[in-house]
Amino acid sequence: MDTSSFLVQQLINALFLGSIYALIALGYTMVYGIIELINFAHGELFTAGAFIGIIVLSALQKYGFVETHFVLTLFLVFGMAMAYVGVLGVAIEHVAYKPLRNASRLAAILSALGMSIFLSNGMMLSQGVSDRAYPAIFGMKGFSIIGARITYGQVFIIILSLVLMVALNMFVNWSKLGKAMRATAQNQVMARMLGINIDRTIRVTFIIGPALGAAAGVMVGMYYGSVRFDMGFIYMIKAFAAAILGGIGSIPGAVLGGMIIGGVEVLWSAFLPSAWKDVTTFIVLILVLYFKPSGILGEDVSETRV
Amino acid sequence: MKKMGILVLCFAVVMGFYGTAAAKTLKIGTLSPLTGPYAQDGTDILQGVKTAAAVFQKAGGIPGYKIEVIPGDSACDGGKATMAANNLINQGVNGVVGAYCSSATIPSSVPLNEANIIQITPASTHTDVTARGFKQIFRMCPRDDIQAWSTVKFLEDGLKVKTLALIDDRQTYTVGLTENITKFVNEDKKIKIVALEHITPGDKDFTAVLTKLKKINPDAIYMGVYQPEGSLMVRQAKALGIRAKLLSEDAVFHPKFLEVGGKAAEGTFLTFAKAPDTPERRNFEKTYKKMWNTQTIGSYGYYAYDSAMVFMKAVKKAGTTDTNKVAATIRDNTWNGVSGKIKFDKKGDRKLAHIIWIVKGGKFVPYWDPLTEKYF
Amino acid sequence: MGNGEFKKFIIYSLFLAVLILPMVGFPGTHFEAKRAFIVWGVFVGVLALGMLNQVVRQSGIYQKTLGGRHSVSHRVSKQFKKIPVRHWTLMLLAAVAAYPLLANNYMVDVGITCLIYIVLGLGLNIVVGLAGLLDLGYIAFYAVGAYTYSLLNLHFGMSFWLCLPIGILLGAILGCVIGYPTLRMRGDYLAIVTMGFGEIIRLVLNNWDSLTKGPNGLLGMAKPSVMYPAFSQGGLEWATYSLKSLHALYYFILLIAVLTVIGVRRLDQSRIGRAWVAIREDEVAAELSGVPTTWLKLLAYAMGAAFASVAGAFFAAKLSYTNPNFFIFMESCIVLCIVVLGGAGSIPGVILAGVLLIAVPEVFRELQDYRMFAFGLAMAVMMVLRPEGLIPATRRKLEPSDIETDTIEELEESYQAVDSRT
């Protein structure tokens, strides 16, 4: 494998990993942008999506649906996973975050942390402690670019991520609900005075954000091949780093952040001692937070809110 | 004040809650991670021990004795494992099968040694487990250097490779293996180690490291990882078009590897004990599958079953539960287990011959014997 | 119970059904109806109880039996309040000191673990409870104490007592190092950064083979020993008593815990403590009032780290073994749970929560699987229903919004109660 193939392959690896991080980061950034809460439970929403995906897919496979209606299968799997996690997101918001909207930061974060632990253990108890294997529907087939391999599954996931990101961007910028979300994120008091239903807006955010996380979960499960109850934690941290890196509250920022974190992770392992890969990710996060807390594309966030 | 009162009450309530157990029972405690990332193997261990108790009792057991298995959760944590061990001691266990992580086995072995209770670990491979002169501790799974030796012998004389790359996940078990493999390879000077890469347990994406290895193009890649990572790694390796031979160890020798790895797992070599096709083994597999409603048995289920069986058989043979006599009986005899012949040396380590298995047709199939250098 | 309540109940139950039935019902490919519906039933039952509780509370029955000035509970607690704090403390100390004499090894071991976590909780209480700095990487300081002792003891044979101050110093330094970049960060970012630091420390310990032996950990540290004068052949000599037995270790950690309680209480009631609370409540106002926020925040980190370091050294000595796996993020979460559930800033609260979170799961060992599940739920529920914790800090009681009293009399009573303690 010569150098150019090596580089292209690593770029493909980074692009794939980055897309997934970006998708999860989007969910994070949306929620944070609107209620300024780190949704620690987002990793578990991601995992829940993966589990629902596997449940639906296994059921469809049992009835031989997958071969005959491949595209419909994908719709159903993604759709039901996203719908389920949307409901779960709304439920969590209603139970654990809404009552704390006016409380201290500490209380809200701890509630989120508690929810995260509750959900991941709940999934452990209901789905078991071992990995669940995803039925392989994509296989290993792919094609080569300049000597680097990319599978059809990877192509599908990258394209789907792109589609979801563009759809989200369009929704947020052009639809009425999207405008309401942006207004609420900018200034909640003002938005309420202008007649925007804050509760409903937040609820919608908690449907869309987690749903994106769920889509990422299905992708991860489908592509890599297995799901486990605790897989959300590592993704959550990296996605959060990505969201902050790109500028929390900014949608293009989350995408950019995701790509950067994915890139750093892959390129570090590619050229430097791989044992320190995670340390690097954390250090990048800490440096960004120290030097530019608003992130790369974020607005200048003052330390104190008046 | 009210607060202090609550505290006093609390202490009293907690103190009053501990119970005790009955008599004329042979109590076997288990220490394994029932919660946390290794819970699958931990549960396999508990199930293996319970299966052994059931099979042993069905075959007659020890006349006049009931067999009771008391589970303990070590959670792969030294502090929790020690507490669990103390709990088992408190409940009057006669023997303990456990723990799984060496970082749990070593601390928990201290109170067990002080209470002079037989301890057989089915999974801890750290040298220190048996290196402290404890007379009542035994190791059912092979030490890292033994498994490493089988691997290196296979690489040198079976596959006859020239270059080798190693991957590990920075855990005691896997680092122990890769370090020993490195040591043996460097001694023999027949193979060159061209890379030592690391991954993080819990990660799903290993393409960066695998691409790096693809560029280096070794003849063989040794995946020193646990089963969840191993299953994903073979898939990604095949997707990247890596042609090197893939090898791994007994932690990956698990039906889940076949399930998740699927077609990508074909052709992977694994070191594991030679599984004798004895009636006992078939009986174990049948009983286990029935008791736990599963079609698959992980490697540690075998080791745990053997650990419990050896203990019970030794007690029966020695005619007493006195630890010193039982320990001597365990050491002085050769036992037939479902993971092969069992013979312990003075330190408590098991002399175990590994063979090389291969994944063929979606199954584990014996492939090569390092001792005889013959194919199966 | 109106129609609205009932409709709400139905809607919530349906939501629960949608969420629970698929996840619990499909551990494989078959729908396990029994399992799914039982779990759903449990949740619906809890929901029903909760809503019933709401309805009952609104009707005012509780006021009559539990609340108000002439209720049973009020009169009982009034009697309790008559006994001065000193007596309670002495009784508690006596019970705790007598505990090992009545308990077996297992119970003593559990007691030791409780006390270790109590020390950790009290240390984190300084950072989170008093100063309001959400530290999610606290366990790193625990690791520093453990590894300092381990390395110094194994390589240089230094005694526990010598390593202790060194560990404290290193912990405090690390606390400042971690604290410095976070000085200007907001609460949420602070949490993630400190979590990152915690993980970095653990990864460094795991990867730096030459220093820490990596994942193998360090084995064989000596237990702490005490010298005491004893008579022997040649007259008066120094003899050593090694704290090997569980009982000896228990009393040692008890001593550490008592000293920690005294230390934290002193800090809490000092000007430094008040300054920390000021920073926690409103940093800008504190800064404008002349509070040196920068170095006080660093001090909070350093002091918290010092206590964790002591606990870490003890832990390493007790097991004679240390390993990077002991210092994972979940441990930080557990200590944080203890502080939060007990009551941020409250010493008796942390003690109670420590006992509850460590001893109770040991008692109910069969339900180990549900331990973290329950903790997560408890944390979220606590924050929503009772953010001040099980035993709220005294200071909180002075906040107007928390006072449930109606009359001037009761207000005066509560002020007096606080005064009698400060």
CA distance, residue B356 to nearest chain A CA (Å): 25
Q: Using CA of residue B206, residue B210, residue B211, residue B212, what is the dihedral sign?
A: positive
Instruction: Select the residue from C330, C351, C368, C419 to test the B interface by mutation, using most B Cβ atoms within 10 A.
Output: C368
Name the residue in chain C with its Cα closest to that of A52: C23
CB contact under 8 A, A226 and B231: yes
Provide, as residue numbers in chain B, all residues whose Cβ is less than 8 Å from the Cβ of A136. 262-263
- In this predicted structure, what is the pLDDT of residue C88? 78
B14–chain C Cβ distance below 8 A for any pair: yes
Question: CB within 8 A of C124, min separation 6: which ones?
Answer: C135, C138, C304, C308, C335, C336, C338, C339
Nearest to B18 among C107, C219, C372 (CB): C107
CA distance, residue A47 to nearest chain B CA (Å): 13
Nearest to A114 among C15, C22, C380 (CB): C380
Tell me if C388 sits within 8 A of C396, measured CB to CB: yes
**Gap between the Cα atoms of C48 and C42, Å rounded:** 10
Token duo for residue B372:
């005889």
Task: Give chain C's radius of gyration (CA, Å).
Answer: 25
C191–chain A Cβ distance below 8 A for any pair: yes
**Gap between the Cα atoms of C9 and B156, Å rounded:** 69
Instruction: Select the residue from C333, C362, C396, C414 to test the B interface by mutation, using most B Cβ atoms within 10 A.
Output: C362
- Of B113-117, C187-191, C265-269, least confident by mean pLDDT is C187-191
**Gap between the Cα atoms of C91 and C324, Å rounded:** 39
Q: Using CA of residue A167, residue A172, residue A173, residue A177, what is the dihedral sign?
A: positive
Percent of chain B residues past pLDDT 70, beyond the cut: 94
CB contact under 8 A, C77 and B2: yes
CB contact under 8 A, C92 and B4: yes
Tell me the average pLDDT across C12-34.
88
**Gap between the Cα atoms of B227 and A227, Å rounded:** 13
- In this predicted structure, what is the pLDDT of residue A37? 85
CB atoms within 10 A of CB A173: 11
Name the residue in chain B with its Cα closest to that of C317: B107
Residue-wise pLDDT tens digits, A237-270: 889 889 888 888 788 899 999 999 999 999 998 8
Name the residue in chain A with its Cα closest to that of C203: A279
Residue-wise pLDDT tens digits, B209-237: 999 999 999 999 999 999 999 999 999 99
**Gap between the Cα atoms of B50 and B67, Å rounded:** 10
CB contact under 8 A, A226 and B208: no
Tell me if C300 sits within 8 A of C276, measured CB to CB: yes
Provide, as residue numbers in chain A, all residues whose Cβ is less than 8 Å from the Cβ of B236. 224
A290–chain C Cβ distance below 8 A for any pair: yes
- Please check the confidence at residue B282 and state whether its pLDDT lies above 80: yes
CB contact under 8 A, C383 and A52: no
Interface contacts (A, C; CB < 8 Å): 156
Tell me if A171 sits within 8 A of A178, measured CB to CB: yes
Residue B29, φ and ψ in degrees, nearest 5: -95, 155
Q: Which residues pair with A132 in a beta bridge?
A: A227
Question: B54: cis peptide before it, omega within 30°?
Answer: no
Percent of chain A residues past pLDDT 90, beyond the cut: 39
Task: Work out the burial of residue B135: count CB atoms within 10 Å of its CB; fewer than 13 is exposed, 13-18 middle, 19 or more buried.
Answer: middle
Query: Under DSSP, is residue B188 helix (H, G, I), strand (E, B) or coil?
Result: helix
Write the DSSP string, B336-369.
Answer: EETTEEE-B-TTS-B---EEEEEEETTEEEEEEE
What residues of chain C, 357 to 396, have a C-beta less than 8 Å from chain A?
Answer: 369-370, 372-373, 375-384, 387
**Gap between the Cα atoms of A258 and B118, Å rounded:** 52
Tell me if B15 sits within 8 A of C102, measured CB to CB: yes
**Gap between the Cα atoms of B201 and B41, Å rounded:** 15
- In this predicted structure, what is the pLDDT of residue A78? 94
- In this predicted structure, what is the pLDDT of residue A302? 42
**Strand pairing class (B220-224; B163-168):** parallel
B17–chain C Cβ distance below 8 A for any pair: yes
B198–chain A Cβ distance below 8 A for any pair: yes
Tell me if B272 sits within 8 A of B361, measured CB to CB: no
CB contact under 8 A, C134 and A106: yes
CB contact under 8 A, B90 and C107: yes
CB contact under 8 A, B202 and A231: yes
**Gap between the Cα atoms of A111 and A95, Å rounded:** 10
Tell me the average pLDDT across B42-49.
92
B128–chain C Cβ distance below 8 A for any pair: yes
CB atoms within 10 A of CB B145: 17
Token duo for residue B2:
């009210």
- Please check the confidence at residue B107 and state whether its pLDDT lies above 70: yes
- In this predicted structure, what is the pLDDT of residue B7? 61
Largest CA distance in chain B: 78
- Please check the confidence at residue B370 and state whether its pLDDT lies above 90: no
Neighbours of chain C (3+ CB pairs under 8 A): A, B
Provide, as residue numbers in chain A, all residues whose Cβ is less than 8 Å from the Cβ of C132. 106
- In this predicted structure, what is the pLDDT of residue B21? 39
- In this predicted structure, what is the pLDDT of residue A290? 83
E strand or H helix at A145: strand A142-145
**Gap between the Cα atoms of B297 and B282, Å rounded:** 12
Residue-wise pLDDT tens digits, A27-65: 989 898 888 888 999 999 999 999 999 999 988 888 877
Provide, as residue numbers in chain C, all residues whose Cβ is less than 8 Å from the Cβ of B70. none
Provide, as residue numbers in chain C, all residues whose Cβ is less than 8 Å from the Cβ of B1. 80-81, 83, 85, 88, 417, 421
B10–chain C Cβ distance below 8 A for any pair: yes
Tell me if A168 sits within 8 A of A253, measured CB to CB: no
Nearest Cα to Cα of residue B181 among B213, B221, B235, B216: B221
Report how far apart the first and last C-alpha atoms of chain B are (Å, whole number).
76
Residue A128: which pLDDT band, with cuts at 50, 70 and 90? Answer: confident
- In this predicted structure, what is the pLDDT of residue A71? 85
Angle at alpha carbon of residue A64, lines to A62 and A69, rounded to 5°: 130
- In this predicted structure, what is the pLDDT of residue A299? 65
E strand or H helix at A231: none
- Of C11-15, C94-98, C224-228, least confident by mean pLDDT is C224-228
Provide, as residue numbers in chain C, all residues whose Cβ is less than 8 Å from the Cβ of A125. 369-370, 373
- Please check the confidence at residue C397 and state whether its pLDDT lies above 60: no
**Strand pairing class (A226-227; B95-98):** unpaired
Tell me if B162 sits within 8 A of C201, measured CB to CB: no
Tell me the average pLDDT across B123-151.
88
Percent of chain B residues past pLDDT 90, beyond the cut: 46
CA distance, residue A137 to nearest chain B CA (Å): 11
SS3 of chain C: the string is: CCHHHHHHHHHHHHHHHHHHHHHHHCCCCCCCHHHHHHHHHHHHHHHHHHHHHHHHHHHCHHHHHCCCCCCHHHHHHHHHHHCCHHHHHHHHHHHHHHHHHHCCHHHHHHHHHHHHHHHHHHHHHHHHHHCCCCCCCCHHHHHHHHHHHHHHHHHHCCCHHHHHHHHHHHHHHHHHHHHHHHCCCCHHHHHHHHHHHHHHHHHHHHHCHHHHCHHHCEECCCCCEEEEEEEECCEEEEEEEECCCHHHHHHHHHHHHHHHHHHHHHHHHCHHHHHHHHHHHCHHHHHHCCCCHHHHHHHHHHHHHHHHHHHHHHHHHHHCEECHHHHCHHHHHHHHHHHHHHCCCCHHHHHHHHHHHHHHHHHCHHHHHHHHHHHHHHHHHHHHHCCCCCCCCHHHHHCHHHCCCCCHHHHHHHHHHHHHHC
Question: CB within 8 A of A177, min separation 6: which ones?
Answer: A171, A201, A204
Query: Under DSSP, is residue A137 helix (H, G, I), strand (E, B) or coil?
Result: coil
CB contact under 8 A, B205 and A274: no
Report how far apart the first and last C-alpha atoms of chain A are (Å, whole number).
58
- In this predicted structure, what is the pLDDT of residue B319? 86
Name the residue in chain C with its Cα closest to that of A60: C29
**Gap between the Cα atoms of B163 and B76, Å rounded:** 35
- Please check the confidence at residue C76 and state whether its pLDDT lies above 60: yes
B111–chain A Cβ distance below 8 A for any pair: no
Q: Which amino acid is at C121?
A: G
CB contact under 8 A, A277 and B215: no
Token duo for residue C69:
């000035």
Question: CB within 8 A of B91, min separation 6: which ones?
Answer: B20, B21, B27, B29, B70
Q: Tokens 């071991």 label which residue?
A: C109
- Of B67-71, C174-178, C229-233, least confident by mean pLDDT is C229-233
- In this predicted structure, what is the pLDDT of residue A33? 86
Tell me if B213 sits within 8 A of B165, measured CB to CB: yes
Q: What is the DSSP letter of B234?
A: H
Which residue has better confidence, C10 or B24? C10
- In this predicted structure, what is the pLDDT of residue B54? 92
**Residue A111 CA, distance from chain mean position:** 20
What residues of chain B, 210 to 229, have a C-beta less than 8 Å from chain C?
Answer: none
Write the DSSP string, B39-63.
Answer: HHHHHHHHHHHHHHHHHHHHTT-ST
Neighbours of chain B (3+ CB pairs under 8 A): A, C
Tell me if A82 sits within 8 A of A251, measured CB to CB: no
Task: Work out the burial of residue C408: count CB atoms within 10 Å of its CB; fewer than 13 is exposed, 13-18 middle, 19 or more buried.
Answer: exposed
Tell me if C124 sits within 8 A of C304, measured CB to CB: yes
B295–chain A Cβ distance below 8 A for any pair: no
Query: Under DSSP, is residue A141 helix (H, G, I), strand (E, B) or coil?
Result: coil
E strand or H helix at A300: none
**Gap between the Cα atoms of A292 and A276, Å rounded:** 24
CB contact under 8 A, A151 and B198: no
**Gap between the Cα atoms of B192 and B184, Å rounded:** 11
- In this predicted structure, what is the pLDDT of residue C80? 66
**Gap between the Cα atoms of B347 and C271, Å rounded:** 60
- Please check the confidence at residue B58 and state whether its pLDDT lies above 50: yes
B35–chain C Cβ distance below 8 A for any pair: yes
- In this predicted structure, what is the pLDDT of residue C64? 61
- In this predicted structure, what is the pLDDT of residue C403? 43
Query: Under DSSP, is residue A4 helix (H, G, I), strand (E, B) or coil?
Result: helix
Nearest to A1 among B37, B214, B238 (CB): B214
Residue-wise pLDDT tens digits, C297-354: 999 999 999 999 999 999 999 988 899 989 999 899 889 989 988 888 888 899 999 9
Q: Tokens 């392959």 label which residue?
A: A9
Residue C226: which pLDDT band, with cuts at 50, 70 and 90? Answer: confident
CB contact under 8 A, B39 and A1: no
Q: Which residues pair with B72 in a beta bridge?
A: B31
- Please check the confidence at residue B18 and state whether its pLDDT lies above 50: no
Question: CB within 8 A of A115, min separation 6: which ones?
Answer: A40, A41, A44, A92, A96, C376, C380
